[in-house]
Structure 1
């Protein structure tokens, strides 16, 4: 019987791999041996420490930090296809990249997989660790129709909403664009709070206004209420990962005149990164605006 190989056992990958292992014979791999041991013990999945020794793998699911990591796993450390995982998979295998990758890289890898008779699907996820734990992630999916249908049982194992957005790389483009909007919404809401304070309106009152009016967004309804105003900044999605996704979206070319709003938000948040400490949460976008204005906007700091 062919098995599923899940690679990448970070904060998102661990609960996702558990859902996969519940439904499919599964092996797990990560660069950190202790992570492999822990997940194998918790889920009953087979531990894999050396990818050069794999056999009988029909499906590979990747949950890795960047395209560089994905390319190294699939093509090999030198960027060729002689010693990477693609060269060791049989024709007819399926690869699903559920991380946040660069669309151009995804298209290159999908073409390399196709040359070997391997289906390739990009299915990045949205919803964070809480939705990963419950199996209710949203999957943004790109690839060929037949490949996506093959991938659907695996997508359904970790997600409750599957949105097919286009061909190869489209899922990764959609994820980056979504996070560009998400981050920009937090930035705009942070600026709104500062303007409201200048007008004598308390931060929590202007957030109430936004959430009762047409200015409401997920940033005002969830991020400010649960993480920013209380001062906890604990959404469990990293600032640096959000910034990475924004950068991917900014690589997608649009007419210059149409890109100033997002370009400005990306510049401010990139330059503002140095004002934050180690491993900031993405909701600390609000802290960047605090530093720029020299005015606290959280209940904790006020």
Structure 2
């Protein structure tokens, strides 16, 4: 069992930290709103700290799951950041979806003081975090990954090392690119079924059994038809992730035309007031265009 810190107790971080505590690790949590960290500790029996530095002191591993590049820098660097409290030989594991640029920047700072760094963004959404069934894509030194893998197994169904620092974030970009195109195709297909007079749920059930099947189709088609968009991963966050992917694509000279279009479709959903709807809400664009209820 290890001494751990977990930074960030959002819809993903709170259950992930709980899985670590339930696995028998000694867990101290930090959240920007201290009351939330205190409540987590009261519920799960771990400790809480007022700063990332205090949470990280003496820990073997420090995990983070925050919002974006700036949020990550704020909990890692500076006099109250996690690196200021981490001991040599410890490993920082970042579950935030951020740019490969900030990942490499922070990994270099960690290495300068003898701290390992693994970028380990996750896929599986809120349900995956709560059920301990996340897919974790990792980058970093092989030895640091090997040390972290049995720890993150507490909330993982699959953990894969893809290469040097930044490789995990690049893989997460692939994940988001695929999801964006898939959800747009589902929105078009389901709305087509509705307008054609078919039972869209019945159609989705059949299609999901064939070559057009996917996790999204099996788990989101019915809720899309029912106008139910409260499944955790918000449009606002998807636009942040797609922005990272599009920026990286430009940097390496890759064209992502479908991703760019879908990103703009998500911008339309935001303009409709759907920034906190989950990503399957792309179908609402079609309802609005045809004068239906949104």
If the length of structure 2 is used for normalisation, what is the TM-score? 0.90
The separation in 2 between residues aligned to 1:236 and 1:172, in whole angstroms, is: 20
Segment drifting more, 96-105 vs 53-62: 53-62
- 2:228 corresponds to which of 226, 232, 248: 232
Secondary structure of 1:253 counterpart: helix
- Shift in Å at residue 257 of structure 1? 7.8
Q: Superposed, which structure 2 residues align to 1:73-222 within 5 Å?
A: 73-76=75-78, 84-222=81-219
- Shift in Å at residue 279 of structure 1? 2.1
Q: 1:213 and 1:48, CA in 2 relative to 1: closer, same or farther beyond 3 A?
A: same
Gap regions ≥5 residues in structure 1:
77-81
Q: 1:205 and 1:93, CA in 2 relative to 1: closer, same or farther beyond 3 A?
A: same
- 2:247 corresponds to which of 251, 255, 260: 251
Corresponding residue of 1:56: 58
Q: 1:51 and 1:163, CA in 2 relative to 1: closer, same or farther beyond 3 A?
A: closer
- Shift in Å at residue 2 of structure 1? 7.2
User: How many residues are paired up?
Assistant: 291
Q: 1:198 and 1:277, CA in 2 relative to 1: closer, same or farther beyond 3 A?
A: closer
Q: 1:212 and 1:153, CA in 2 relative to 1: closer, same or farther beyond 3 A?
A: closer
Q: 1:197 and 1:25, CA in 2 relative to 1: closer, same or farther beyond 3 A?
A: closer
Q: 1:293 and 1:112, CA in 2 relative to 1: closer, same or farther beyond 3 A?
A: farther
Answer yes or no: is the 8 Å Cα contact 2:29–2:47 preserved in 1. Answer: yes
Secondary structure of 2:160 counterpart: strand
The separation in 2 between residues aligned to 1:293 and 1:208, in whole angstroms, is: 25
Q: 1:121 and 1:256, CA in 2 relative to 1: closer, same or farther beyond 3 A?
A: closer
- Shift in Å at residue 52 of structure 1? 4.6
The separation in 2 between residues aligned to 1:100 and 1:154, in whole angstroms, is: 19
Q: Root-mean-square deviation (CA), in Å?
A: 2.3
The separation in 2 between residues aligned to 1:257 and 1:46, in whole angstroms, is: 45
If the length of structure 1 is used for normalisation, what is the TM-score? 0.87
- Shift in Å at residue 295 of structure 1? 4.6
- Shift in Å at residue 53 of structure 1? 4.0
Answer yes or no: is the 8 Å Cα contact 2:64–2:94 preserved in 1. Answer: yes
The separation in 1 between residues aligned to 2:208 and 2:244, in whole angstroms, is: 30
Answer yes or no: is the 8 Å Cα contact 1:143–1:166 preserved in 2. Answer: yes
Secondary structure of 1:215 counterpart: coil
Corresponding residue of 1:7: 7
1:36 aligns with 2:37: yes
